[in-house]
Amino acid sequence: MAGEGMSGTERLWAAIRLEKTDRVPIVPTLLAEPAAHLAGITRAKVAADNALALDAILQVFDDYGGWDSIYPGSYTPQQLQASNVNPMKVRIPGRDLPDDYMWQLVEEEILQPQDYDRISEMGIDGFYYQDYLGRISSLSTDDVNREILALFTTFQRFLTECQKRKVKPFFMGNGMHPFFTLSLMRSMVGFTKDLYYHPEPVERAIRRMTADLIAHQIPLTKESGLGTWLFTEERASGYFYPPAVFERFWWPYTKQVVDAFWSEGLVTIFHLDQRWDKNIPYFRQLPRGSFILELDGNTDIFAAKEVLRGHACFHGDVPAALLSVARPEDVHAYCRKLVELVGDDGGFILGSGCSVPCNVEPGNFKAMLEAGRGARG
């Protein structure tokens, strides 16, 4: 855009470092499903082939004039199972659902109470591939190897395509918080009972999973050269649990993870779905500039900014409802409000609240991008 003085990468990192930018950086969370919608193909196609998922994301990037950093999203639901990202049964469009449905996770009590100690002894990967994966899918060892190879191959092409467009991925390494992973595997109801009635085995498992996550993800993140990694949590906030649970089972391990990555100069991107208003003050205990808060529209981002002003970068948080059913002028006005109140002193990346919704209106997506392109950071 005429008059811009920074590259997309420079702009992004200035925001992460809580500095002023020539304009606000833009990073929509455009995953395969909304990209398919905007590109005019079915969700069944991108759910079956992550190469097509990448094609759809790149097509939308090009058709809408690009943005500052691309959110990695070229994977299929089965690949998320195969790579121990979504540890749940899954229904897939074109196989279990109509072609234009979003794939669905099925929550059941798959993990059993005795499995906590098995995880603490074997590590989560050992337990997952030797036992647990067979409980949630029919994937064979050959299937797993094939899917992980497809992930790797497409990601290498993703990096090449990013280089062609002179843009970098938002992150490479990623992981879910151990608390969140166990909740998905056990089911939220069963996991909550365990937290109150059998806390010690849960804590042992979280402790081992935290150590394994640090050991595995730091080398991968350093090797990427991007300086950022994604850490996802959706169930630990004060919306679900009182401070006593948060302070015992989530916060100490979160601090351990962030401190370990920050000691290597790596920034943690927290993807925090649901409502975190009661928990935001805790994040002031983390080192300044060591993390980004990626919010989904449920947390009051304006109040959170006041608590963490000058301490952390924010990413978000144009709500799915605005992008799917509002008018372009409503989207534009909300984006301007974000820039003026959250990005007024730097430390802000404009994007969608969680993923761009699958039924995003093209005009609303365009309005978000245009509002960001015209906004000084």
Cβ atoms of residues 258 and 210 within 8 Å = no
Q: What is the pTM of this model?
A: 0.96
The residue count for the chain: 377
**Residues 353-364, mean pLDDT to the nearest whole number:** 97
Structure tokens at 17: 């470092």
Per residue in 220-245, pLDDT (tens digit) is: 999 999 999 999 999 999 999 999 99
Residue whose structure tokens are 């992980």: 148
Answer yes or no: is pLDDT of 377 > 80: no
Q: Looking at the predicted structure, is the pLDDT value of residue 376 above 70?
A: no
Taking residues 260-272, what's their average pLDDT? 98
pLDDT at 375 over 80: no
- C-alpha to C-alpha distance for 164 and 204, rounded to whole angstroms: 46
40-54 average pLDDT score: 97
> Which domains, from first to last, does the chain contain?
8-373 (3.20.20.210)
Tell me the β-bridge partners of 344: 346
For residues 54 and 33, what is the distance between their CA atoms, to the nearest angstrom?
Answer: 11
Q: Residue 2's pLDDT is what?
A: 39
Backbone angles phi, psi at 136, to 5 degrees: -115, -10
Using pLDDT thresholds of 50, 70 and 90, give the confidence band for residue 5. Answer: confident
Tokens of 329: 């002028």
Average pLDDT (76-82) is 96
